[in-house]
């Protein structure tokens, strides 16, 4: 694993101390991982996908009765003319505004339509409003820590928005309810659609209709070499592939994936899952995610597949795919035998496993922590320093090879190999997952 880290470190050093998606450092990282897999006999795919790249953040705003409110430009490829676009605001009879019929007798021709964030995608809301003559759409939404409601921003939505669309908060909405005068919307952030890619390799042996997937994200944060986040996960997953080989004697096929564009909205993993379709998803028995495996002030966390810890309200227990509890038991069992007692990490919607979770695929994973500060209880459990971040250099320029703790990685890395090897032999038993199909 450390040899892979040294290579990724050299790549970052030769490319402005960064391996961020869209940079030469990322391209060189892709080439290194792909060639390493080819050298071991794997057939390597590098699926391309479109992603959004911002060239200028601008200052999107909405002026109501002389007061300016910041807005989120939901239509990143559509800007207003310099000076903005002025119109009155009207609301459909049904607040979600998902269909033309939702507007009833309300005539929104030449107006901004104000809708809520419920029931459908922002594309559907735009199409319905513009179909009734609106010049733009204002979506009232206050995203929580996990982001906007599921289904509001669907994959590739930004390429389907052809009119000015902005997200406003409840404060701006309250001001709009107090006026019937024109308001002025300015959308001046500038973005473009660019190409990115992930790296995918699957064993030539094992059941291709019961695939064990293991992944890590290949891109770093902007202006960071990304050796712990997530060079450590890449190194562990890549070396697991190297040691397993392309044609092992296994029951189930194993697919190794190294994601692009994780740091720019999980676009690699999200678009990959969307590309699989029902048949492709049905072949995936599980997805194991490995992110930040060598934090210098490490904690040891397993994804809370059995919901025994404090749950995330944005991921209700009923939405956790059956089988995730077994994956947690396998990973936690290995860490316990390796001498560290793991803790639960609440499931969220801001990691590469999230698209699999939404699709109903059992998920599991390990991390040693990022920017959160270690508590006194955790310091007694795992050692290290209380009150200090698990990874003090998280997404910073200091996330170089010295920021990867070798002792920590020597525990978490073999856990990757153990889990992959276990489920490559069988996905059945008390720690298994439900049969697909």
pLDDT in the model for residue 144: 58
Residues 89-129 pLDDT 10s: 999 999 999 999 999 999 999 999 999 989 899 999 999 99
pLDDT in the model for residue 175: 95
The class level of CATH for 2-53+195-425 reads alpha beta
Three-class secondary structure of residue 119 per DSSP = coil
Enclosing H/E stretch for 262: none
Q: At what angle do helices 233-244 and 2-13 cross, to 10 degrees?
A: 130
Residue identified by tokens 């000076």 is: 83
8-state DSSP, 399: -
pLDDT in the model for residue 78: 94
What are the two backbone dihedrals, phi and then psi, of residue 229, each rounded to the nearest 5 degrees?
Answer: -110, 90
* Rounded Cα–Cα distance for residues 179 and 62 (Å): 13
* Ranges of each domain in the chain: 2-53+195-425, 58-188
Tokens of 60: 């999107």
With DSSP H G I counted as helix, E B as strand and the rest as coil, what are the percentages for the chain, rounded to 5?
30, 25, 45
- Given a cut of 80, is residue 181 above it in pLDDT? yes
Residues 138-169 pLDDT 10s: 999 976 555 567 788 887 788 899 999 999 99
Measure CA 368 to chain center. Answer: 18
pLDDT in the model for residue 437: 66
Tokens of 136: 């733009």
280, 432 Cβ separation under 8 angstroms: no
pLDDT in the model for residue 225: 97
For residue 167, which of 178, 152, 183 has the smallest C-alpha distance?
152
Residues 391-404 pLDDT 10s: 999 999 999 999 99
CATH architecture of the region 58-188 = 3-Layer(bba) Sandwich (3.50)
pLDDT in the model for residue 147: 58
Statement: the pTM of the whole predicted model exceeds 0.75? yes
22, 53 Cβ separation under 8 angstroms: yes
pLDDT in the model for residue 158: 87
Provide mean pLDDT across the span 27-51: 96
Confidence of residue 315 (pLDDT cuts 50, 70, 90): confident
Confidence of residue 313 (pLDDT cuts 50, 70, 90): confident
Measure CA 305 to chain center. Answer: 18
Number of H helices, E strands in the chain: 10, 19
Average pLDDT, the chain: 94
CATH fold match for the domains 2-53+195-425 and 58-188: no
Residues 234-243 pLDDT 10s: 999 999 999 9
Least confidently predicted of 80-89, 224-233, 310-319: 310-319
Residues 339-353 pLDDT 10s: 999 999 999 888 999
Give the chain's radius of gyration (CA, Å): 24
Provide mean pLDDT across the span 45-65: 90
Widest Cα–Cα separation across the chain: 72
pLDDT in the model for residue 206: 98
Q: List strand residue ranges (DSSP E) for 57-98, in order.
A: 61-64, 67-70, 72-73, 85-87, 89-90
Provide mean pLDDT across the span 262-281: 90
pLDDT in the model for residue 108: 95
pLDDT in the model for residue 263: 86
Enclosing H/E stretch for 348: none
β-bridge partners, 354: none
pLDDT in the model for residue 269: 94
For residues 147 and 383, the model is more confident at: 383
β-bridge partners, 190: 56
- Given a cut of 80, is residue 390 above it in pLDDT? yes
* Rounded Cα–Cα distance for residues 356 and 287 (Å): 7
Spell 72-105 as b/e; 16+ CB within 10 A means b: bbbbbbbbbeeebbebebbbbebebbbbeebbee
Least confidently predicted of 35-39, 47-51, 280-284: 47-51
pLDDT in the model for residue 278: 92
pLDDT in the model for residue 282: 95
pLDDT in the model for residue 436: 77
């Amino acid at each position: 694993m450390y040899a892979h880290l040294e290579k990724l470190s050299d790549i970052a050093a030769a490319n402005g101390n960064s391996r961020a998606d869209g940079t030469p450092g990322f391209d060189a990282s892709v080439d290194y991982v792909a060639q390493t897999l080819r050298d071991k006999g794997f057939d390597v795919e590098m699926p391309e996908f479109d992603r959004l790249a911002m060239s200028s953040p601008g200052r999107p705003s909405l002026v109501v009765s002389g007061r300016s409110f910041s807005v989120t430009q939901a239509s990143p490829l559509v800007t207003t003319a310099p000076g903005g676009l002025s119109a009155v605001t009207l609301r459909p009879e049904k607040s979600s505004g998902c269909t033309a019929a939702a507007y009833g007798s309300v005539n929104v021709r030449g107006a901004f339509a104000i809708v809520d964030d419920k029931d459908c995608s922002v594309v559907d809301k735009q199409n319905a409003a513009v179909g009734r003559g609106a010049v733009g759409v204002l979506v009232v939404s206050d995203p929580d820590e996990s982001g906007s409601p599921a289904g509001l921003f669907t994959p590739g939505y930004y390429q389907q928005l052809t009119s000015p669309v902005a997200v406003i908060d409840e404060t701006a909405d309250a001001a709009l309810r107090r006026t019937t005068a024109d308001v002025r919307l300015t959308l001046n952030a500038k973005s473009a659609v660019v190409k990115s890619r992930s790296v995918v390799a699957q064993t030539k042996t094992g059941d291709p209709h019961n695939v064990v997937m293991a992944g890590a994200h290949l891109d770093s944060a902007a202006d960071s070499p990304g050796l712990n986040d997530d060079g450590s996960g890449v190194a562990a997953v890549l070396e697991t592939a190297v040691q397993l080989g392309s044609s092992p004697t296994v029951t189930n096929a194993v697919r190794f994936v190294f994601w692009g564009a994780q740091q720019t909205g999980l676009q690699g993993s999200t678009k990959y899952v969307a590309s699989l379709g029902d048949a492709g998803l049905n072949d995936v028995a599980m997805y194991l995610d490995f992110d930040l495996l060598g934090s210098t002030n490490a904690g040891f966390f397993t994804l809370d597949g059995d919901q025994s810890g404090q749950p995330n309200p944005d991921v209700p227990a009923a939405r956790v795919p059956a089988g995730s509890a077994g994956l947690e038991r396998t990973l936690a069992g290995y860490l316990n035998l390796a001498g560290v007692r793991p803790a639960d990490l609440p499931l969220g919607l801001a990691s590469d496993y999230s698209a699999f979770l939404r699709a109903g695929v059992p998920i599991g994973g390990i991390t040693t922590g990022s920017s959160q500060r270690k508590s006194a209880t955790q310091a007694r459990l795992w050692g290290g320093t209380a009150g200090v971040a698990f990874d003090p250099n998280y997404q910073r320029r200091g996330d170089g090879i010295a920021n990867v703790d070798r002792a920590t990685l020597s525990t978490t890395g073999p856990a990757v190999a153990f889990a992959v090897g276990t489920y490559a032999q069988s996905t059945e038993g008390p720690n298994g997952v439900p049969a697909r199909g």
